[in-house]
Amino acid sequence: MGGETSQRARPGNGRTLPEKVWDAHVVRAADGEPDLLYIDLHLVHEVTSPQAFDTLRRAGRRVRRPDLTLATEDHNVPTDSLAAIADPVSRTQVETLRRNCAELGVRLHRLGDADQGIVHVIGAELGLSQPGLTIVCGDSHTSTHGAFGALAFGIGTSEVAHVLATQTLRQHRPRTMAVTVTGELPAGTTAKDLALALVARLGTGGGRGHVVEYRGPAVESLTMEGRMTLSNMSVEWGARAGMVAPDDTTYAFLEGRRHAPSGAAWEAALDHWRSLRTDDGAAFDREATLDAGTVAPFVTWGTNPAQAVPLDGVVPDPADLTDPAERSAAVRALAYMGLRPGTALRDVPVDVVFLGSCTNGRLEDLRAAAGVLRGRRVAPGVRMLVVPGSAAVRAAAEAEGLPEVFAAAGAQWRFAGCSMCLGMNADTLAPGQRCASTSNRNFEGRQGAGGRTHLVSPPVAAASAVAGRLAAPTDLPGG
């Protein structure tokens, strides 16, 4: 994990949660070498795996542990129909995954399966994302699974091939960081706002080289969905992984899920999971503290996730920024976003609203948006897409009547996938279109060439759809 020595004298007594999970997975440690780390769960999707399977095939190698490898189709899949994929290039990529999984014995959830969905949503749903595991995937948002107290991080395609072949990775021991969130999140704010506030505070490189543990009362009071949102965005401030120590909330989420242990194994697992806490007196390499009481609904104004301010604020003036790199980035960002300094964020109109993604595509997110949309209409001229994170989320939402709420409001109810988070399927922004999005990245062109993205929470997304401009639910009549 980047430029660190493996063996290091550590201050303090005891070990941190990241260190405990790391230590339990070291297959081999040697001076001057990265550790050889065992991987408990390898998640695979169609985009970053074809070249890795080719590497295996060329060398005549097999998948070492198909029983620890799970694949799904998520990035390319259409969300308007479960029929065949129309785009031939997307179809070829998905068919390549199907062929690779069939040949090498990897379990795959295909488009149309009850368990298909975004890789980071289904891992938790199936009960596979468990405390203390090492989880990797060729996808930066693998950090999501850290919500369970797993050490979960994104890897490149060469590393995907390495894990397929060996079930291990060579990694330098990362530095550790504690982010302690004190107090309570105010009403109307969510884990997404907390994540955006952290990214804005710490910067896109603030966590570089570190595995972070989120702690404190505001983190402990988050639901598992909220913890997943927070851990998911760890990579947006540069952290390699984000973790939350498992507790009763974690165990309650896991119990009874298909791949969670049961019976005597559940008790044995619980004993282990309860040990996965940072010891009193253990020292982190870095620490940061945030008062949750200061978090407000956040929105990004620029083209990286750290360019974010409270919705109550205005578009900043680059001239006020002291760091020259930040200043020139802000000038570029405002030109791309078509925004002028001093504009109130609430005066920014939106053309499209996207509710979904591995950040905010779970049932709790859909409920929050539906709560805002109930009895209201999406503003004329605004297109709102609601894309559940998985087929199971879609089914659960249907069971409680959420699609009817979205339909009555004039929003489009879709099938599961990554969709407009990165626009690899047909769900893209047109050049110049402005989108309030519950996804994780506002990079230039992320949601379609020339598209402009404002990252927001699900309630703010829904309120913005109704208002036709960036808005919080409390801004709406009757809100």
| Footprint on residues 75-94 left by another protein (CB under 8 A) | 75-76, 87, 89-90, 92-93
Name residue 282's amino acid: A
The two three-digit tokens of residue 191, written as one number:
């884990």
Nearest residue (CB) to another protein, 319 versus 325: 325
Instruction: Report 258-297 residues binding another protein (CB under 8 A).
Output: 259-261, 265-266, 268-269, 272
48-52 contact pairs (CB < 8 A, 24+): 48/138, 48/139, 48/156, 48/157, 48/160, 49/97, 49/100, 49/138, 49/157, 49/160, 50/93, 50/96, 50/97, 50/100, 51/157, 51/161, 52/138, 52/157, 52/158, 52/160, 52/161, 52/164
Judged by CB under 8 A, the chain residues 396 through 415 that form the site for another protein are none
DSSP letter for 390, please.
B
Q: Which two tokens stand for residue 450?
A: 């020339």
Q: Per-residue x/- marks for another protein, 143-182, CB under 8 A? A: -----------xxxxxx-xx--xxxx-x-x----------
Smallest gap from Cβ 341 to another protein, in A, equals: 19
From 352-360, 376-384, 392-400, 441-449, give the range in contact with another protein by CB under 8 A: 441-449
Bridge pairing between strands 210-215 and 175-182:
parallel
CB of 297 vs another protein, minimal distance in Å = 24
Residue identified by tokens 């390495």 is: 162
Rule CB under 8 A: say whether 117 interacts with another protein. no
Judged by CB under 8 A, the chain residues 419 through 438 that form the site for another protein are: 422-424
Nearest-CA neighbor of 334 among 315, 308, 351, 360? 315
Site for another protein contains 110 (CB under 8 A):
no
Residue 441 binds another protein, judged by CB under 8 A:
yes
Interface with another protein in residues 182-221 (CB under 8 A): 204-205, 208-209
260/416 with CB nearer another protein: 260
- State the Cα–Cα distance between residues 245 and 210, nearest whole angstrom: 16
Q: Which of 21, 22, 40, 368 binds another protein (CB under 8 A)?
A: 40
CB of 407 to another protein, least distance (A): 29
Parallel/antiparallel/unpaired status of strands 26-28 and 35-38: antiparallel
Q: Which of residues 325-344 bind another protein (CB under 8 A)?
A: 325-326, 328-329, 332
Alpha-carbon torsion 344, 346, 349, 350, what sign? positive
- Is position 51 an interface residue for another protein (rule: CB under 8 A)? yes
- Among residues 133, 152, 311, 315, which is the contact residue for another protein, using CB under 8 A? 133
Is 358 a residue that touches another protein (CB under 8 A)? Answer: no
Residue 34 Cβ vs another protein, minimum distance, rounded to whole Å: 6
Structural element, H or E, at residue 212: strand 210-215
Alpha helix stretches (DSSP H) within 24-130? 50-58, 88-104, 119-125
Measured CA to CA, the distance from residue 98 to residue 77 in angstroms comes to: 13
Put residue 216 in one of left, alpha, beta given phi > 0 → left and psi -120 to 50 → alpha: left
Only segment of 232-240, 281-289, 349-357, 394-402 that touches another protein (CB under 8 A) = 232-240
- Quick one: DSSP state of residue 455? E
Measured from the CB atom, is 10 or 259 closer to another protein? 259
Min separation Cβ 252 and another protein, Å: 18
Q: Contact between 242 and another protein (CB under 8 A)?
A: no
Counting DSSP H helices and E strands in the chain, the numbers are 16, 19
Q: How far is the CB of 295 from another protein (least distance, A)?
A: 23
CB closer to another protein, 110 vs 346: 110
Backbone angles phi, psi at 436, to 5 degrees: -90, 120
Tell me whether residue 3 or residue 381 sits nearer to another protein (CB atom): 3
Q: Among 23, 33, 291, 404, which residue interacts with another protein (rule: CB under 8 A)?
A: 33
Q: Which is nearer to another protein, 221 or 328 (CB)?
A: 328
How many residues touch another protein under the rule CB under 8 A: the total is: 86
Question: Is 67 an interacting residue with respect to another protein (CB under 8 A)?
Answer: yes
Q: Tell which one of 124, 128, 197, 373 touches another protein (CB under 8 A).
A: 128
Q: Is 69 in the site for another protein (CB under 8 A)?
A: yes
DSSP E strand boundaries for 282-390: 286-291, 298-300, 308-310, 352-355, 383-386
Stretch that binds another protein, among 14-22, 191-199, 290-298, 321-329 (CB under 8 A): 321-329
Check if the beta carbon of residue 368 is closer than 8 Å to that of residue 465: no
Cβ atoms of residues 148 and 259 within 8 Å: no
Binding of residue 96 to another protein (CB under 8 A): yes
Contact pick of 7, 23, 28, 57 for another protein (by CB under 8 A):
28
Please state, in angstroms and rounded to a whole number, the distance separating the CA atoms of residues 31 and 33. 6
Return the number of the residue (157 or 433) whose C-beta is nearest another protein: 157
| Binds another protein by CB under 8 A, chosen from 54, 80, 279, 475 | 54
Q: In Å, what is the CA distance from 303 to each residue of 179, 380, 444?
A: 25, 27, 6
Name the helix (H) or strand (E) containing 71: strand 69-72
